[in-house]
Amino acid sequence: MYFSNLVLATTAVVAGATGAAAATAGQQQQQQRSVPGSGYVASNSTSSNSTAGNGDGKPRKMILDNDWAAVAFIPILQALDAGWDVVGIVGDTADSWALQTSMHGLAGLELGNLSECIPVHKGADYPLLNTPELFQVWSTLHGKLPWEGAFAPENKTAEDLGGEPTSGDPRRLSKAAFAEGFPKGHLAGEHAAAWMVEQVRAHPGEILIYSGGAFTNIALAVRMDPAFASLTRGLVVMGGYIDSVLLGAATGRTLLQADYVSDINLKIDPEAAKIALTADFPEITIVGNGANQVFPDQQFLDELVEVENPYTTLLHGHTDMTLPYWDETAMYAFLYPEHVKDSVSFYLDVDTAWSSPYYGNIIGYQEALKPKAQKLQKVNYILEVDGEDFKTSVKRAVQHPKKCPL
């Protein structure tokens, strides 16, 4: 989920999130409109109101990999509301350590009794190469990120006050951060990458991978099974802010860049981001800059809680209104491509030069200029969605959450 910086950026949702400078995200109106996702066609969802899904007739399954926090559960409810089968969720290391984020994921499911039918698998503790120590040296060389996620210096005082664990021992839990309640149940497994490989092999062409945090586990799955990416239904990403100049160079258009340009999802594990985002997923949708579009406000939170349930009550009391609906916007853009108002596509690379100030940032290329010595993927990069319809769909998903059995 959250912030980080410079030119690109990242994840989402809110929670007892610390930090986060607020600024208004400037959204630019674009003339041309395009809808990403080649194959999305309205299909009959089993349970609810959605037009999402590829019209391929295959079951629509999803795995959500995210750095879950106290009120980060909305994307799960959105997917269920749209009629998707959530095969399971994965907790990764980005805003905090994977164990902590996995337990938040579990707690979020338990609020709606959904843990009975949706398992939680913990991801890797550490990024592929990066460590808190290396990250701090890099910051000293190239400047601090406004949001350092799990790599922020350890701070016991902040943890005792409800902050998520950062640096130090990745296997410790900080119960004070569980505003949603500490989970009663257990994780289904601790090797998320292996589990994802098994699931994708068992359901070829059916499983969409939603990534709202770092790419460590997806990269591990890609390396573990060379067919992993191609056997999925695609990849949807929250994160990956791109510099307006680079984007202009990639697409021939300019973009008024939002001020929220924080990218811990990519910058905490740049090598994994590169492996995942250059793998041959049938389709890759990225919601970076566009994820800054919609913010929670008091009126919306008041409307949500008109229908009282554990989810609406928690959101009403614990949503940080300074942070945009990052992860939720990414999920929405995938589920409702007909409500995407603006997007571009370009070939994407990730800077993995540790010595670079752009280490972990996205680089975009147009066809004629893309590197010849590597095989980059052409991604759909979402710039704007229908903000009003977004709110309507989030409201429906949290006010009337699906129940097990799904």
Contact residues for ligand NAG (CB under 6 A)? 44, 49, 112-113, 155, 157-158, 161, 309-310
Q: Classify each residue of 297-327 as buried b or exposed e, where b means 16 or more C-beta atoms within 10 Å of its C-beta.
A: eeebbeebbeeebbbbebbbebbbeebbbbb
Closest contact distance (angstroms) between CB of 49 and ligand NAG is 4
What is the C-alpha separation between 353 and 374, in angstroms, rounded? 15
Q: Smallest gap, in angstroms, from Cβ of residue 392 to ligand NAG?
A: 6
Q: Provide, rounded to whole angstroms, the least separation between the CB of residue 110 and ligand NAG.
A: 8
DSSP string computed for 74-85: HHHHHHHHTT-E
Nearer to ligand NAG, 174 or 345 (CB): 174
User: Is the CB of 190 or the CB of 338 nearer to ligand NAG?
Assistant: 338
Q: How far apart are CA 65 and CA 106, in angstroms?
A: 12
CA distance linking residue 267 with residue 245, whole number of Å: 19
E strand or H helix that includes residue 287:
strand 284-287
Please give the helix or strand (H or E) that residue 195 lies within, else none. helix 192-202
Residue 129 has a CB neighbour count (10 Å cut-off) of 12
CA-to-CA distance for 310 and 107, rounded, in angstroms? 11
Q: How many residues does the chain have?
A: 406
Q: Which of 32/44 has CB closer to ligand NAG?
A: 44
Residue closer to ligand NAG (CB basis): 336 or 347:
336
Q: d(Cα 101, Cα 115) in Å, to the nearest integer?
A: 15
Nearer to ligand NAG, 28 or 155 (CB): 155
Q: How far apart, in whole angstroms, are the C-alpha atoms of residue 106 and residue 73? A: 10
| The token pair that represents 351 in the structure block | 């800077």
Q: How far is the CB of 64 from ligand NAG (least distance, A)?
A: 19
- Closest CB to ligand NAG among 189 and 387? 387
CB of 356 to ligand NAG, least distance (A): 27
Kindly report the CA angle at 260 between 259 and 262, in degrees rounded to 5?
A: 130
Closest CB 324 distance from ligand NAG, rounded Å: 22
Kindly state the smallest distance separating residue 8's Cβ from ligand NAG, in Å.
25
Question: Of the two residues 184 and 372, which places its CB atom closer to ligand NAG in the complex?
Answer: 184
